[in-house]
Structure 1
């Protein structure tokens, strides 16, 4: 399959998942608002969502793809079966521990709610109901890594849609029943686990649908490869999901502010649309290519591939960051301000979104550059970079939270993204695996010029349309996109050679 077709399939699947996620969050806001019940539900969902986003964006691919690609097909199928069996048993045990210790976990996830015993009890209940989704989506991610390695992207792109799709159906059904907020959140927590089970079933069907057996189950053999995979699994998840860890820490701090958990959640969900797309493309397409280059010893080819991938990432991330910052208030109002979600909640969410948008380019750059560390097997460097970003997030969020509330916490997340990107780039330079070439610097300069043109146009249009509804906001978004496309073409940020390069075989 050509790179353009693979990219489109993975990208469209990721985009569709994010669009469904938007619809889901709009319905969340309408059904639950931003009060104590919403804070409890979103706090309980934070850990399952963290795992779902990390593994759904290929978080396990950095350890699975390089290891399995070195094996013969039969050995790879048997090893994949061993990994699924061992991870399945480990996750079952973990799920059991969480069900028993959900109360302690609820306090860890939202320590600011400890004064409200009723709200913390709801966090405990929702944690017990929603955590089984972790088992399902993690096993589905392992199966998806096997499918991606064999060039079968359809199921891995479409299966994750079931989680958001299932929750949307549940929200629509409950809206007609007019249930109390507590009962709505209870059913939603249970529905998320059921949707995860459906996702796992779809991936399993894809694994057994072809003529070639991609997974073969047997009594697991404790091989050095399996041991390395298990030992590396947690560090890889932490390094792959650095941004999610930053948000998890920010959520704990935000729990001390009324509606802080909800505002941070909704603002981060909007910001995740472009970031999630780049994460899926990086782990699903760039990582296998870099792994092949590394095995062949093509160091210069790795550096060149990184720079070109970074150009594409920033071509999307920089305008997205500017647009989210400028349009944060009308976006928050249009997406969420209805039902139980009030105007003050939309304002708080908009300020959080503006702060988070500042870190989007750095988070995107870190996603792209870290793929080389994964392909090389430098998990320690990737993990240390994530830890540094996490430490910066906490160290910055705490002092900024007191004067600015949840907005200051979101600024701390952006600082953490900056530190993470710098740490990843520094690690690559130490290994001699990255240096920005003239083409990258020239392209980024042209992209910045196009983004500036788009930003001026959006600000001017906002002054003409101060109250943005659905139609006017859509016009602003499409007009900004069109203006950016024209400016990118005029400045040379996008050329005809780029389209030709996309059609080359991967």
Structure 2
């Protein structure tokens, strides 16, 4: 399958999942609002959702992909079966511990709720009901890595839709004819998330078993260097690859000290995650295997070239997305969330948090894309150190900025953490001799910035000339901004016809220094 076809398929799955996620969160806001029950549910939902996002965006791929790529197909199938079996047992044990210690976990997730015993008890209940989804999505992600490594993308692109789709179905049913108290309604939603995760695992497992025994072979697991590295590096890899998600987890703990702070941060993050999640999925699903192949072949300069081209594409998307979210934060919050139990003051708070988070979107994208090179080289300790530094800055800055600015200051702390994380990854690559942006990259970055400025001026002019936009007007602003940016990008040369031609090449073809991402 050519890279453009696999890219389109993965992109479709990512975009569809994010759109369903938007619809899910709109219904969350309508059904639960931004009060104590919503804070309890979203605080509990943060932990399984954190794991789902990290592993769903290829969090374990940095260990799985390079390890399986070093051996032949038969041995890879056996190693994949061993990994799935051992992780299934480990996840069952972890889930049991969480079910037992949910009260302590609830306090750790939302320490600001310690004075409200009733709300904290709801966090514990929702954690018990929703955490089993972690087993399903982690095993589904591992199976997806095996499928992607063999060029099979259909099931892995479509399976993640099950979780958001299942929650939307549950929300529609609960809102259509049942009069449940908010706390009970949230409990049903927490349980529905675990059931939807089981459906996702079933879809990927069916695709994997279709290729049995060529793709996976199950036996009584045997201890091996690959299994040892997978178990020992699993947690550090998840922490390094999910750096931004962990920053949000820390920010949620701090936001729990402010009324509705958890809810505002959650809804704003969900909007910001649409473009970031797309780039994360493409990086882990497509870029990482490509970089791993280049590294194994000893093609150092080609690896650097692929990295530069990937960064160009990422910033071509992230720069305008971040600018547009800052400019349109208030109408986005109003149109998407202000209904039902979600009132105007909640939309105002969410908009301010979204603006602060959007400032860090380009840096979060840079960190995510460039980390794939460290993963391809198995430099996990370096990647983890960069993620840890970003986390330290996130916590420190959030605490310092929260007291004068509230949840908005916490969001600014997350953006600063993303900035420091990206800078630390760049410094690490430079020490390894793998950070060498060429003239083309710098030129395209300048042109992308120019095109973003043109789009921003157009959106600001439209916002000042038009009344407060509704849903149709917001859609027109988004489409108009996208069209203006596309025209400006073509006019400045930030986007060229060669970009499309380079993406149609087979991923196994050599990458020329003057070519696009292959």
Alpha-carbon shift at residue 70 of structure 1 (Å):
1.1
Aligned to 1:478: 479
Q: Normalising by the residue count of structure 2, what TM-score does the alignment of the two structures yield?
A: 0.97
CA-CA distance at 1:75 after TM superposition: 1.0
- The gaps in structure 1 that reach 5 residues or longer are none
Where do 5+ consecutive residues of structure 2 fail to align? 508-518
Deviations 1:140-186 (A, max 9, x none): 01100000000000010000000000000000000021211111100
1:264-304: CA deviation from partner (whole Å, max 9, x where unpaired) = 00000000000000000001110011001001111111111
Structure 1 residue 48 corresponds to structure 2 residue 59 = no
Measured in 2, the distance between the counterparts of 1:466 and 1:493 equals: 32
Tell me what 1:466 maps to: 467
Structure 1 counterpart SS, 2:34: coil
Structure 1: which 4+ aligned runs deviate by more than 2 Å? Answer: 210-213
1:136 matched to 2:116: no
CA apart distance, 1:504 = 1.2
Deviations, residues 165-210 of structure 1 (Å, cap 9, x unaligned) = 0000000000021211111100000000000011001110000123
Kindly indicate whether residue 379 of structure 2 is the aligned counterpart of residue 394 of structure 1: no
Tell me if the contact between 2:77 and 2:213 (Cα under 8 Å) persists in the aligned partners: no
**2-side partners of 1:435 and 1:406: how far apart?**
38
Which residue of structure 1 aligns with residue 93 of structure 2? Answer: 93
Q: Return 275-284 or 207-216, whichever deviates more.
A: 207-216
- d(CA) in 1 for partners of 2:452 and 2:467? 21
Aligned to 1:26: 26
Per-residue displacement from partner, 1:80-128 (whole Å, max 9, x unpaired)? Answer: 1110111111110000000000000000000000000000000000000
Q: Indicate conservation of the 8 Å contact 1:390/1:416, yes or no.
A: yes
Q: Deviation at 1:211? A: 6.5
2:269 aligns with 268
User: Superposed, which structure 2 residues align to 1:123-272 within 5 Å?
Assistant: 123-176=123-176, 177-210=178-211, 213-272=214-273
Cα deviation for residue 213 of structure 1 reads 2.7
For the Cα contact (< 8 Å) 1:140–1:200, is it kept in 2? yes
* Root mean square deviation, CA, Å: 0.7
Would the aligned equivalents of 1:236 and 1:383 in 2 still touch at CA under 8 Å?
A: yes
Q: How far is 1:433 from its partner?
A: 1.1
Is the 1:25–1:266 Cα contact (8 Å) retained in structure 2? yes
TM-score norm. by structure 1 comes to 0.99
Which residue number corresponds to residue 75 of structure 2? 75
TM superposition shift of 1:224: 1.4
Between 1:171-180 and 1:161-170, the stretch displaced more is 171-180
The answer to whether the Cα contact below 8 Å between 1:207 and 1:213 also exists between their aligned partners in 2 is: no
> Aligned residue for 1:495?
496
CA distance in 2, matches of 1:171, 1:150: 37
| Residue 318 of structure 1: how far off its partner (Å) | 0.2
Distance 2:226 2:463 in 1: 57
- Tell me the distance in 1 between the aligned counterparts of 2:140 and 2:160: 9
| Aligned mates of 1:404, 1:379 — CA distance in 2 | 36
Q: Is this contact kept in 1: 2:395–2:413, CA < 8 A? A: yes
